Structures are given as structure tokens and as C-alpha cells.
Amino acid sequence: MKAPLNNMLHYRFMPDCSEIAHRSRRMKKTKKIIHIDMDAFFASVEERDRPELKGKALIVGGDPQSRGVVAACSYEARKYGIHSAMPCSRAYKLCPDAVFLRPRFDAYKEVSNEIRNIFFEYTDLVEPLSLDEAYLDVTVNKKAITSATEIAGEIKKKIVEKTGGLTASAGVSFNKFLAKVASDYRKPDGLTVITPEKAPAFIDNLPVGRIFGVGKVTEKKMHHMGIKTGAHLKKLDKEKLISLFGKSGGYFYKIVHGNDDRPVVTHWVRKSVGKETTLKEDIIDVNVMGDVLKVLAEKIEKYLKPRERTARTITLKVKYFDFKQVTRSITVNEAITGAGPMMDLIMPLLASTEAGEKKVRLLGMSISNFTDDGRDSPETGQLAFPFY
């Protein structure tokens, strides 16, 4: 007999679902995780503030005549095949009648804070992933509500009321992986619950491309091997997956068997800091590239100095005119303290690429391997967001 909906998340996932009810009595309380993801967030805020844009193909990003990319787009724009990170010039070709707007990040952050305050009404265990999504652990919550599904429904309703009509999709499950997949399952304005009982069948039918950590290259490799769903991944043992996909293979093995013990993290540890820029036009002059990289280094330094942080690894990213991309990294014994040392290391890395022989359209740099733990307080949660 299936458990009532408000009790479904009290069971721990097991491969043999027939034993769940029997064994769960002897087990500790299973986590109740909610993943909230705003629907077309940037575009929705723009539509709210400018009602005349509703129903139109709306693109938030760069000018269509520039090298900018799509930051977000409305669902009407998505019907044309437009998606985030697509060059705006490409988006314009797909839909010349689309409305292009520059991002207003201050407005988005203001709404994001309103939404986060709603989360804190229920739990302090909130892990923001970006301006428009977050994990919540409501296993024990401030309102003593036993049903995570009920909490998710209340949060969705309050978001609509307090933000002037913006909607969110929610996923409810017993771990972070499944909660995140669930939130994307019935967008927009969806609410999907994956109970321990339903998890095995859900994972079996899940396309591998929907598994977090499976990028386009890995997905293509999996498809070439006939691995298209979670069920196909389950047929491979852990050692085989590791031999095929390295460390990620161990992660894939755990995920497809419903195991994800990652906690909801309220204090962020930023493992890297980076900045990149798409150039207004392709360049081949290495000296000009150096000038661009110096600007990026100075921006990273502005993050480091007030926090008194230092790192030991620096990484260069180069994208050529033909969109082929390479990275180069170096780790040093002495701490990297500012823009000067960054430039001393980054220029030899640039010389090891084909920059100067091939035109370059994008340059980026990042530092990592910090010498401190980089722990930030909840009040500095904006560090969880991308640098704009």
C-alpha cells in the first residue's frame, strides 16, 4: 500500500522498493529537500515591470549586433530554439522580431532577496545556487509542517503574491540530485515530487543528458556507447564506469542508484574566482590580448584584496575565432597575491597556445587552490552568484 503523499518522503531509497515500508521503520528520518527554480527569471522580471512585453519573444542579453550572449529568454523565445549562452547574433537570426533588452542585475537581485526571505520563513538551511534557484532542507522546519510538498506549494504561492506574479517551479525529493531534476520536470510553474518509491523508475527513464555533471561531450560519448538513460547506466558496475569516465564514473554510479548524501550548504566555500570577456572583434595581436588579460586580473584582484585571499593556481581560457577552446593552468608554490603576479604567470600560458597565430574571440582567467578555506558568511551570499 502506498504511503499518503504527506508521508512519502519519510522513507529512505532502496533498490528493492517492496522492502521500503518494512525497513523504513528501523531507519532514521530521511531528508526532505526542496529545489526552487524561478521560471525564465530575468525575462519574467522584465515582463512584470513592462507588461507590454508579455507574450513576446523576449531576450535578455547583449545587443544582437554585438558579441554578447543570451542571459535569459522568455518561453515564447524558446519556441524558436533560443536558449541561454547562445550568441545574441544567432538568436536574432532565429527570431528577428524578438525584443532584446540589456540585463538589469540590480532589479534581479532585489527580487532574489525577496524570494530568499520567503525561504527563511520555513528554514535557515538554504543553499542559493544563483539569483534564481536554491536548495532548502525542510526535514525539520520552523513551522513544523510534516509535508515537504505542502511547504513547496506554500512557497510557490507566496512567491507569486510577493513578487507581483512571478512563478517558480519546485522539485521535492529525499536528496539534492532528484529535487533539482524534479524542479525542471514540469516547467513552468510546476511542482514535482519524487518519493523513494518512485525514484528507481524515474531514474531508469531519465535521459543521461539530464543528469547533472553530464555535459555535451560526455552525453555524446555515452550515446555512442548506447548509454541513453539511467537504466543503461545502472547496468554498468562502479569500476566499469570509473574506467570509462574517471572520477565522474563513481559519481554517476551513486546518482543512478539514488544515492546523494550532499548536505544543503548555507556557508559557501568559493573554490575559484574568474572573469572572462567576449571581445568586440577577433584579435590576433598578443599585446592587445595582454591588455585584456590585465583588466581581468585587476578585476579578480578587487575581489581578493578586501578578503585577504591568495591562491596558488591560475588558469587561462582562450576561445579562437572558430569557437575551438583551450585552457592552460599552472600551480606555483608561492601564493598569488594580485594582478602583477597573475600577469607574470598568465602571459607564458598564453604563449603556449595558438593565440597570435589564430585570431581570438574570448579570453578568460581564473584562480583557484586558495590558501585559506574561503568561507563566507550567509550575509555575503552574493558570492554564490556569477560575477557580472
Instruction: Report the catalytic residues.
Output: 133
Which residues, at least 6 apart from 257, have a Cβ–Cβ distance to it below 8 Å? 15, 234
List the grid coordinates of 340: 602583477
Question: How far apart, in Å, are the Cα atoms of 300 and each of 9, 131, 277?
Answer: 43, 21, 13
67 close to 279: Cβ distance less than 8 angstroms: yes
Say how many C-beta atoms besides its own lie within 10 A of residue 204's C-beta: 14
258 close to 203: Cβ distance less than 8 angstroms: yes
Preceding peptide of 15 cis, ω within 30°:
no
Q: Largest alpha-carbon pair distance within the chain?
A: 71
Q: How far apart are CA 378 and CA 112, in angstroms?
A: 14
